[in-house]
Amino acid sequence: MRLSILPLVLALSACSFTPVLEKPDAPVPVSYPSVVAQQEQASAAEIGWVAMFGDPRLQQLIDLALKNNRDLRLATLNVEAVQAEYRIGRAARLPSVEAGLGGARERALDPTSGQGPSTQNRVDVQLGVTAFELDLWGRVRSMSEAAFARYLASDEGRRAARISLIASVADAYIAQRLATEQLELARQTLRSWTEQLDLAQQLYRARQSSRLDLAQVRSQVSRAQADAEARARDLQRSHNALFQLVGAASPPSSLPKPLPLQRQPVLTRLPAGLPSTLLLYRPDIRQAEQNLKAANADIGAARAAFLPRISLTATAGFASPSMRGLFGSEHRVWSFAPQITQPLFDGGRLRAELRLSELRKSSAIAEYERAIQVAFREVADGLAGTATYARQIAAQEEIVAEETKRAELSEQRYRAGIDGRLELLDAQRQLYAARQELLDLRRDEFGNAIALYKALGGGQFRDEAREQGASTLPGMP
């Protein structure tokens, strides 16, 4: 058989039983419900994470995490594994050509005369195609398309893991800054109240105050000690969480000094764009879309499995009793062995496989729709936080200012003998609680901004210069 007919054989693979994929409409409104949502094409997904998180220490921690984090490394290895599987499947669409060189020497009776044994030699060289399936119905091609879609889905999963890692590092870093400042505030308060305890003990020994006053101060100091211990525990846990994400046991000595929580340069007002842009920027939505394409291609392969399969085995080469003259025209040999198989009875296996592929497609559609709905809700929640946190923090700052004045006036009235210690202790407790709540609110505002940035698909680019130079689909670094 001449090898020149192989292109013709490949050209016969033109049919396909894969159904036309019709993606469902996005099951979300055309606009976000929050008044702060800017209905424009710009989206925070186009903002590089360096611009989003301006603290140099946090930037270096994110860089370290992207290099060292084990979860991201596993996601990358999974992409490479699925890519190898796709290449294996793609290879099935092409004939496997093999070359062979062999020889044999045997002693046997002459097959024609039946006379005494004789020694025979045989040397052969051949080039052949073994069991190559003619993909007339598109079964192999559908399987290859499904494998390619799963490869793309795994790559989108890697991008989603990368975005999640960046957001998690930023969130853990802000949590660490919160725990640090809350511990400092708790210790400052404890020192101040300890000084008041010393004074109360002196007054009690001088019989100028009652034991009730002393017990109240001791109780407040004990509460402050307990709170300081809790804050120290929170700081250690936040430290552990952060450096597990970074992939390091301890912070490198070269890291810049951290900025205070109040001065953290985190963008808190982000452009949301339109809900339709989520389909472009969210890797998890694109991952669900590729899984839907793979499930759709599986249906084509399951349908084609009902039809006959044609496979070809062909070899061509030379055979001779000796190496001398092996490649002469009189020693040319060839074989051609086509085979056709048609499933007749399999106990319903093929029908069950087709039904299974159809059910998996229905599940993939539901997963795709759910991914869109989850993305919309996450963005809507983030926008709701953007609309309220700034006003809430401003109100809490006023509360802190008023509680500070109240504590100062209460101390003056106590020293003047107008109020008792109970009123002073209550004012101090209220001021301490207001300051701690203000720190919590600032951390929540940053956490809301980080969550919104992640929900919009942000974190796919390191900086805006890289994003502006990207010529592929958003999120394809």
The domain limits of the chain are: 14-93+135-307+351-469, 96-134+310-341
Contacts of 64-70 with C-beta under 8 Å, sequence gap 24+, read 64/246, 64/247, 64/248, 64/252, 65/165, 65/166, 65/169, 65/245, 65/246, 65/247, 66/162, 66/165, 66/166, 67/247, 68/246, 68/247, 68/248, 69/165, 69/245, 69/246, 69/247, 70/247
pLDDT for position 40: 56
Q: Which two tokens stand for residue 440?
A: 């919590």
Distance CA 242, CA 250 (A): 10
Beta pairing partners, 432: none
Pick out the chain residues at pLDDT < 70.
1-15, 34-41, 108-116, 325, 329, 464-477
Distance CA 124, CA 321 (A): 9
Can you point out the beta strands (E) in 293-331? 309-320
Which helix (H) or strand (E) segment holds residue 26: the answer is none
* End-to-end CA, the chain: 48
Please choose, from the candidates 355, 454, 347, 438, the residue with its C-alpha nearest in 3D space to the C-alpha of residue 389: 438
pLDDT for position 102: 77
Please give the CATH number for the structural domain made up of 96-134+310-341.
2.20.200.10
**Cβ neighbour number for residue 318 with a 10 Å cutoff:** 19
Please choose, from the candidates 147, 154, 157, the residue with its C-alpha nearest in 3D space to the C-alpha of residue 297: 147
Angle at 178 between CA 49 and CA 162, to 5 degrees: 30
pLDDT for position 196: 83
Distance CA 352, CA 355 (A): 5
Strand 117-134 versus strand 97-109 pairing type: antiparallel
**Cβ neighbour number for residue 195 with a 10 Å cutoff:** 11
Beta pairing partners, 333: 317
Distance CA 216, CA 222 (A): 10
Rounding to the nearest 10 degrees, give the CA dihedral for residues 371, 376, 382, 384: -150
Which helix (H) or strand (E) segment holds residue 438: the answer is helix 421-455
Q: Which fold has domain 14-93+135-307+351-469?
A: Outer membrane efflux proteins (OEP) (1.20.1600)
Please choose, from the candidates 124, 131, 132, the residue with its C-alpha nearest in 3D space to the C-alpha of residue 334: 124
pLDDT for position 474: 38
Distance CA 161, CA 154 (A): 10
